[in-house]
Amino acid sequence: MLKKILNLFKSQGPSQTKTVALNSAKVGEFYNKNTDKFIEVYGDIIQAFRTNNVYDYLDYTIQNAELKDGQKILDAGCGIGGPASYFASKLNVDVEGVTISELQVQKANAAKPSQTLIGKTHFTQGDYHLIDELYGPEVFDRVVFLESFGHSNNKPLLIEKALKVLKPGGVLYIKDLFKREHPNAEDGKRIDKIVAEIDKAYCYHVADLHEVLAALRRLNFIILFVKTPDIKVGEFEHLTISNNFQELFDIAKIISWEDYIFPVDFYEIKAMKPPFDISQQKHLYFLNRPEIIDSPVK
């Protein structure tokens, strides 16, 4: 797999890409090896932060990412296609899913969606750091990362690629876990340790919110919101699914709760690509209204 992924990166610059390719190959192998385990526990929606009825969470995603009829959507890190199929069962959308794992793409293509699709889905095996090459520029109305973004070991690069494939006025939506801040050095050390264990067990690079926001702002993304997912306590699954997974398969199992500090925050980030070319029109400011695409504010 590594050779194949390194080949995919041929046209990119040499230095940063090798570490990205190496990491992506590792993640691909992780999912080739563990996808059946994930399916056993999570079904076809491989997300830790969810509602008791996981489809309620996907409805929430539709609402907050503003997925709408007629859109072309990229589900970057699509798993075995559960979310993409759900979106296409609710809306007349055209969803492209990309996953680094060959096994997942086979499963996504073989799966029979439980609901009739109104829209379309299409799944590709590939690296989401290369989506500009896979799909071309300014193709998507939405790029969504649903607990997939944190696998990247070069998030500024990944955000740059999302910018390229989004249409002007298109929206990037990230739902993921971010390392918690801490009030003192002692808690900080414990959080660092637990996060390092999560990273190792899940091939993850739990994101730093500041780094991600800085990368978005550097590229002139318009930050629409950063928030904790807004779901009712009674509907929240309380992360029991990831505890079950960890217990069952001995992956990142928590041995003792004594010194445990909850190490991450779950956030949704929604950011819009500027509706006009900011590098050409640096004197302009923008509003977060898609309708100004044709008439930027002077």
Distance of alpha carbon 38 from alpha carbon 34, whole angstroms: 6
Question: Alpha carbon of 35 to those of 42, 113, 261: distances in Å?
Answer: 10, 18, 28
Nearer Cβ to ligand SAM (66/187): 66
Nearer Cβ to ligand SAM (88/222): 88
Nearer Cβ to ligand SAM (222/268): 268
HSE toward the beta carbon, residue 98, CA cutoff 13 A: 19
CB of 204 to ligand SAM, least distance (A): 9
Nearer Cβ to ligand SAM (98/264): 98
Q: What is the DSSP string of 139-153?
A: -EEEEEEES-GGG-S
CB of 90 to ligand SAM, least distance (A): 15
Distance of alpha carbon 90 from alpha carbon 67, whole angstroms: 10
Nearest CA among 281, 266, 261 for reference residue 220: 281
In the chain, % helix, strand, coil (3-state, to 5) comes to 45, 20, 35
Nearer Cβ to ligand SAM (80/219): 80
According to DSSP, the β-strands at 264-272 and 140-146 are unpaired
Nearest CA among 172, 154, 94, 160 for reference residue 131: 160
CB of 126 to ligand SAM, least distance (A): 6
Nearer Cβ to ligand SAM (57/286): 57
HSE toward the beta carbon, residue 233, CA cutoff 13 A: 0
CB of 144 to ligand SAM, least distance (A): 8
Residues that bind ligand SAM (CB under 6 A): 24, 27, 31, 45-47, 77-79, 82-83, 98-101, 104, 127-129, 146-148, 151
CB of 148 to ligand SAM, least distance (A): 3
CB of 11 to ligand SAM, least distance (A): 17
